[in-house]
Amino acid sequence: MVTKKKVGENSNQDREKVVLIMAHPDDAELSSGGSVAIWVNEGREVHYVICTNGDKGSKDPNTSPFRLAEIREEEQRNAARVLGVEQVTFLRHRDGELENDRAFRNELALLIREFQPKVIVTHDPWRPYMVHPDHRAVGFATIDAVVVARDHLFVPFWLELGFPPHAPLEIYFTFPSAPDYVIDITNTLEKKLEAIGKHRSQMERFPQWKDLIKAMAARMAEKEKFSYGEAFKRLVLI
Ligand SMILES: [Zn+2]
């Protein structure tokens, strides 16, 4: 017997998909690379959505923003390959210029309906004193997009195009002000470092970057029984 899918029903939860929606190439690895490696090892399908092309990410006055965007996209593909990420979707907005407007929310909502993740990982937009505007914009737009993706009366013609509503079960916020979920990345720290190392255009500015990343991972595991962690704020949506 064929069971008809109800509007709003989660259709693909058994695949345990995880989608990371991040502002810049390198945000996914810096915040969650060790966890991504674990999820992939567990057989979960991981997708990245990278919202900007990172074309402001240089201190070199002679850098071409167009060339920089190309370099950073290649670096992001290489880093994702190290971790076994299924697919990277580049939205290619201009770095530093994102706004949480309806067009951007709908762009993200459609991707949520397409990928049907159980978990979404994004920036914590409520983190106080967070300077980068793209991190705030992406965090807020992602939360808003979850509502658009979930409720069938938003953009009704998407149904006719074959994108039924989808409700993720959880959002994990990266670098949160109030972490409540620390993932043990002790066994995948090296993989995280290898992936971050692919972002050469960014890391070459910080000769001690490996030590800095290790120290951050140790700090996040300070109250845990393991050595290295990645901390998240976990929001359960049901
Ligand atoms: Zn960023």
Residues whose beta carbons lie less than 5 angstroms from ion ligand 1: 23-24, 27
pLDDT at 15: 58
Say if CB 15 and CB 52 are below 8 A apart.
Answer: no
For the chain, which domains are there?
Answer: 13-56+63-236 (3.40.50.10320)
Rounded to 5 degrees, φ, ψ at 20 are -100, 120
What is the whole-number distance in angstroms between the Cα of residue 55 and the centre of ligand 1?
12
Amino acid at 204: E
What is the whole-number distance in angstroms between the Cα of residue 27 and the centre of ligand 1?
5
Distances (CA, A) of 52 to 82, 110, 136, 212, 221: 21, 17, 13, 25, 30
- Choose among 14, 221, 22: nearest CA to 120: 22
What is the whole-number distance in angstroms between the Cα of residue 169 and the centre of ligand 1?
25
Question: What are the residues facing 233 on neighbouring strands?
Answer: 173
pLDDT at 63: 85
What is the whole-number distance in angstroms between the Cα of residue 189 and the centre of ligand 1?
20
What is the whole-number distance in angstroms between the Cα of residue 153 and the centre of ligand 1?
32
What is the whole-number distance in angstroms between the Cα of residue 13 and the centre of ligand 1?
29
The SS3 assignment for 201 reads helix
pLDDT in tens, the chain (238 residues): 333 344 444 444 455 899 999 999 999 999 999 999 999 999 999 999 999 998 888 888 888 899 999 999 999 999 999 999 999 999 999 999 999 999 999 999 999 999 999 999 999 999 999 889 999 999 999 999 999 999 999 999 999 999 999 999 999 999 999 999 999 999 999 999 999 999 999 998 899 999 999 999 999 999 999 999 999 999 999 7
What is the whole-number distance in angstroms between the Cα of residue 114 and the centre of ligand 1?
24
Distances (CA, A) of 76 to 29, 115, 184, 211, 219: 9, 19, 24, 21, 26
What is the whole-number distance in angstroms between the Cα of residue 6 and the centre of ligand 1?
37
Unique residue bearing structure tokens 């770095």: 95
Cα gap 12→109, rounded to integer Å? 16
